[in-house]
């Protein structure tokens, strides 16, 4: 089951009870200009809701530019690295923060690698400006066994949903921007024939 909602996550989060989804996996907006108001106020509200909804773990791909501040404010259990190789942008990696909800699901038991050497999607191959490689998402998600459902609060072009489908997971996603949501839904419909989509 794939459920994609065209709405703001902070509004849509009200539909979900505490500890109702096994795993939260997302790459939220990185830039100050991509959110309304103060960035850290936005991030704190989103982070708190993610931690409330997740029953086992929260995994967030973020930017190297904000890494120190995030670790200072919200220290993760583990920090993984997505290494992009030699590319044009100055920042050639992204941190992946892993948060453990409780000792009932110990993330260290499931993490078998801390680094992922996967080239980013560039130029004409991108259908969304913040699109990440599907292989990266599958590689991260498949480590966390015994998780049957995943929620992406900022689903963008739908990569989390495609990865979840590949791994046989139920997926919920939110996308506030209408054009991005349309890209997401079109991509899912083209590549997931036979899978039930709720939009």
* Percent helix / strand / coil, the chain, rounded to 5: 35, 25, 40
* 19-28, 37-46, 84-93, 175-184: segment of lowest average pLDDT: 84-93
pLDDT tens-digit readout, 31-41: 888 889 999 99
- Of the candidates 58, 55, 50, 56, the residue with the CA atom closest to the CA atom of residue 19: 55
Q: Which domains does the chain have, with CATH numbers?
A: 2-198 (3.40.50.150)
pLDDT the model gives residue 88: 56
pLDDT the model gives residue 86: 63
User: Rounded to whole angstroms, how far apart are CA atoms 22 and 145?
Assistant: 10
pTM for the model: 0.91
């Amino acid at each position: 089951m794939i459920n994609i909602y065209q709405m703001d996550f902070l509004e849509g989060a009200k539909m979900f009870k505490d500890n109702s989804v096994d795993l939260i996996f997302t790459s939220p907006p990185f830039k100050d200009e991509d959110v309304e108001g103060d960035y850290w106020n936005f991030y704190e509200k989103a982070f708190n809701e993610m931690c409330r909804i997740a029953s086992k773990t929260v995994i967030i791909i973020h930017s190297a530019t904000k890494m120190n501040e995030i670790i200072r404010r919200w220290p993760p259990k583990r920090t993984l690295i997505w290494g992009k190789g030699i590319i044009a942008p100055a920042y050639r990696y992204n941190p992946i923060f892993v948060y453990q909800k409780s000792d009932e699901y110990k993330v260290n038991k499931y993490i078998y690698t801390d680094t992922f050497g996967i080239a980013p999607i560039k130029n004409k191959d991108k259908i969304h400006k913040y699109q990440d490689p599907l292989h990266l998402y599958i590689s991260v998600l498949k480590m966390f066994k015994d998780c049957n459902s995943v929620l992406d609060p900022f689903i963008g072009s739908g990569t989390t949903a495609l990865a979840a489908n590949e791994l046989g997971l139920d997926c919920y996603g939110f996308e506030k921007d209408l054009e991005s949501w349309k890209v997401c839904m079109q991509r899912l419909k083209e590549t997931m024939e036979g899978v039930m989509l709720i939009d």
